[in-house]
Structure 1
Amino acid sequence: MIMNQKPRAVHFGAGNIGRGFIGALLAESGYHVVFSDVNNKVVDELNKRDTYEVRILEADEGSEEITDFSAVDSHNVIAELADPNVRIVTTAVGPPILEKLAPTLAKGLQARRSAGGGPLNVIACENMVNQTQTLAKHVHTHLSPADIEWLNQHIGFANCSVDRIVPSVQLDDENPLDVGVEEFSEWAVDQTALKSEIHPPVNGMKLTDNLDGYIERKLFTLNCGHAISAYLGYVRQHHTIDEAMSDPEISRVVRGALHEGGVALVRKHKFEEQDHAAYIERILLRFANPKLKDDVKRVARQPLRKLGREDRLLGPAYLAQGYGMPIDNLAHGIAAVFLFDMPDDEEAVQLQEKVKTHGIDKTVTEHTGFEEGGDEHRKVVDAYHGLKGK
C-alpha cells in the first residue's frame, strides 16, 4: 500500500474529460491524482511524463500546466483505493461504463475496509441523472451484507452536475496528453450525500443542498441545446457544432427549444427569469465557439440514451408540457434524432431498424411516450417528414 501523506484522489477515466476537467481541478487543488484507465497506452504515457497542458480554447487562448499525477490499470487501482490518504474517488468514463466499473470499485472498497482506510466520497461525473447513485447500486451487487453496512456508514456516493465542453480535438503538440477545453466549467455536488468533508476543498466544486435545480438547468439547457444542434447538424450535413450553429435554421430551433424548456425551468425551480435568459445566451455563445471544433457525430452518439424519459430532450419537453407550454422547437429537435443513421453507433443502428420495421409513427410513440395521434406526437412526426424531405 502506498503511504504518502499528501491527499490523493483516484479518478477513473483518463480521457479528455478526465484530464481536462475533473482530474485537472483535483490536481490544481493540491491532490495527487491517480488516473485509472483500461487503455494501457494512456496509463504508460501518464507515468512517463511529469506534466501536461490544459489549453483554453477561447479567443484569448491561455493554458494551465497540470502536475502531480500518476496512473494505474484496473488491477492496481484496488491497492490505491485502500490507501487511507485517498480522500475522493471520481469518474469520467461515460454512463454505459459505470456498471462495468462497479466490480473493480467494489473490490477496492472491500480492500479499504480490510485496511481500515476510513471514510471516502465517490462522485461519478457523468452526463446523466443520478449517476453516482446508479454506480452505488451496481457496486452493491458485488458486496456482502456486511460490506454494504460498512459502505453505508463510511462511503459517500454523491450525485453531481458537471458542465464543461471538452471536444475531441487534436492539438498540434508534442505531448499527447495535452487537451483543449472551453474556459467555462461548473461542478455542483450534493453535499447532503457526503460522508466526510472534502478536504482540501476542490477548486471549481460547488457544494449544494439543492442539486436538482443545477442538474435540470444544465441537462435541459446545455445538454438539450448541444444534442439538438448535433442532430440537426447531422441532418443538414454540418461537421461541427459551431458550424451547425452558424446555420440560421438550426440556430433558430435551438434557441427556441431552450426558451421553451426555460420557461418551465423558471417556474419549477423559481429561477430569476433574467438570470436564466442570460444563462441561455451564454450557452449559445459557447456552442458558437469555433475553436472547440466539437464534432457533431460525437455529440449525437447514443441516441436511445438521449431519448430517455428524463434526459436532455424529452425531459424539458414533458416539463414544458406539464406547465401547458408549447414544445414546437423541442419536437423539431426530437424528430432529428430519428434521422441519425450512423453504422458504427449501435444505438443508432437499433433506432433505424425500428423505424424501418415498425414505421416512424410507432417508433416515435415507443421512444417518446407521446400518444399516437396526439398533438406532441404529430409535431414530432411532421417535423421528421419535413427534415427527411430536405
Structure 2
Amino acid sequence: MKNAVHFGAGNIGRGFIGKLLADADVEVTFADVDAPLVDQLSHKQEYKVKVVGNECQIDTVTHVTAVNSASDDVIERIIHTDLVTTAVGPNVLDIIAKTIATGISKRFEAGNNSPLNIIACENMVRGTTHLKGEVYKHLEESLHEKANELVGFVDSAVDRIVPPAEAANDDPLEVTVESFSEWIVDEQQFKGEIPDISGMEKTNNLMAFVERKLFTLNTGHCITAYLGCLKGHKTIREAIEDPSIYAEVKQAMIESGEVLIRRYQFDRELHNAYINKILTRFANPYLVDEVDRVGRQPIRKLGANDRLVKPLLGTIEYGTENQTLLKGIAAALKYQSDDDPQAIELQDSIKKQGIGKTLAQYTGLSESSEEIAKIKTIFETL
C-alpha cells in the first residue's frame, strides 16, 4: 500500500492513525476543514509527536501533506488512494459521508477498479458500518453493487490517550500521545490484500475487543472524570491518584469485566492485568488530561450502546454485581459544564422531569426498573 487519505488532522489524527500509517511508509494526506492547520501541514509536510510512557521521546512524522476536506482536492485524492481512514468524532462521520461517496463515484468514473478500504477509527461501536450506511445514502443505487465488490468498510477498535496540545507549546503541529496504542481491525471486511501496517492488529472477533475497550478504558475513564469533578479534581491523573476514586474506578471495571469474561470467555487473570494496565495509564505523569474533556457530552455517554449503560445491561443479563457502575451513572447525571450543550440539556431535563424520566429518555432503561430506583438513591447521596 502506497498512500492513504485520513479525515481529521486533529491531535488524534496526527498522533495516532496518521503516525502509524506514516511510520509504515504510507504517504498520508490529511483532510480537514481547519484551513490554517491544512496550510501548515501541506507546507511543512512533517510534524513532531511526543510519545510519553515511562520515559519521553520525540518522533518526527514525515511524508505527509494536507488538503481541505471541503475542496475538490480531497475527491481527487480518493480517486487514486488505497485506503481512507477517519478520526473526526462520531458526529462528523455523517458529514464526511457525502464527500467519500463522491470520491467513490468519481473513482469508478475514472476507471479505477482497484480495491479501496475505508476504516473509521472512532470511539464508537461498528463506526465504519455506520459510515457505510451514510455513504450509500449519497451513492447512486446503480453503483452499490460495484461498491460492494470493490470497497471494503472495515470496522475497528482504537485505543490511545491523546490529550489536547499544551497551550504553552509554540509548535502548533506537535502533539503528545501516550506510548500505549491499540488499533484492531476486522480482517473479514477488507477487499483485496490486507495492508501490513505495524501497530494495526487483525482479528476475526472484533466485538470482543470493541467491548473490552469500551467496558474498560472508556467506562473507567469517564467514571474517573465524573467522580473527579464531584471532588474538585482538575485532571484524570489527579482524580485517579485519589485512593477512594481509584478503588471505585477499579471496582467499576471489575464489574464490567465480569460481563466480558462471561460473554467472550476472557481469561480472568489476563483481563485483571488489562484493568491494572489501564489504571496505570490514567496516572501517566506526562499526560495532562482534564476531567472536563473526558466528561463532556454526557448524553452520548449515557446512550444504551455506550460506556456506562452497555456494561450495565450486561450485568443485568448475567445477574452480576453492578453497584459501582450505577454510581458512575449517578455521577454522570451530576456533571455540569457551561461550555457543553449536552451537559446543559441534561441538567435542564433533570430539573424539568426528574431523574427517572431523564434516565429513561437517554439510556433506554425502563423508568420503573430497579436500576433507575437505585441510581436515584445514589444520586441523592452524591
TM-score range, shorter chain: over 0.9
Identify the residue that residue 90 of structure 2 maps to in structure 1. 95
Residue 143 (structure 2) aligned to one of 138, 143, 147: 147
Distance 1:96 1:114 in 2: 29
Question: What letter corresponds to residue 360 of structure 1 in structure 2?
Answer: I
Contact 1:332 1:380 in 2 (8 A): yes
Q: 1:174 to 1:348 in 2, by over 3 A?
A: closer
1:205 aligns with 2:200: yes
1:57 aligns with 2:33: no
Give secondary structure in 1 for the equivalent of 2:55. Answer: coil
Q: CA deviation at 1:340?
A: 1.3
Q: CA deviation at 1:91?
A: 0.2
Identify the residue that residue 77 of structure 2 maps to in structure 1. 80
Question: What letter corresponds to residue 146 of structure 2 in structure 1?
Answer: W
Distance 1:253 1:121 in 2: 41
Distance 1:270 1:11 in 2: 35
* Total equivalences in the alignment: 379
Higher mean C-alpha displacement, 187-196 vs 43-52: 43-52
1:253 aligns with 2:251: no
Distance 1:131 1:173 in 2: 33
Quote the sequence identity (%): 45
Q: CA deviation at 1:173?
A: 4.5
Residue 307 (structure 1) aligned to one of 302, 309, 326: 302
Q: CA deviation at 1:130?
A: 1.1
Give secondary structure in 2 for the equivalent of 1:152. Answer: helix
1:291 aligns with 2:286: yes
Question: What letter corresponds to residue 132 of structure 2 in structure 1?
Answer: A
Structure 2 unpaired stretches of 5+ = none
Structure 1 unpaired stretches of 5+ = 1-5
Contact 2:85 2:121 in 1 (8 A): yes
RMSD: 1.3
- Post-superposition CA distance 1:275-333 (Å, at most 9, x none): 00000000000011121111111111111111111211111111112111121000000
Give secondary structure in 1 for the equivalent of 2:82. Answer: strand
Distance 2:156 2:146 in 1: 23
- Post-superposition CA distance 1:57-113 (Å, at most 9, x none): 223111221000000012110000001xx2111000000001011111111111111
Distance 2:313 2:7 in 1: 34
Contact 2:327 2:379 in 1 (8 A): yes
Higher mean C-alpha displacement, 12-21 vs 334-343: 334-343
Higher mean C-alpha displacement, 358-367 vs 307-316: 358-367
Question: What letter corresponds to residue 21 of structure 1 in structure 2?
Answer: F
Contact 1:169 1:293 in 2 (8 A): no
Distance 2:97 2:363 in 1: 30
Contact 2:22 2:64 in 1 (8 A): yes
Distance 2:369 2:170 in 1: 56
Give secondary structure in 2 for the equivalent of 1:141. Answer: helix
Give secondary structure in 1 for the equivalent of 2:351. Answer: helix
Q: CA deviation at 1:164?
A: 0.4
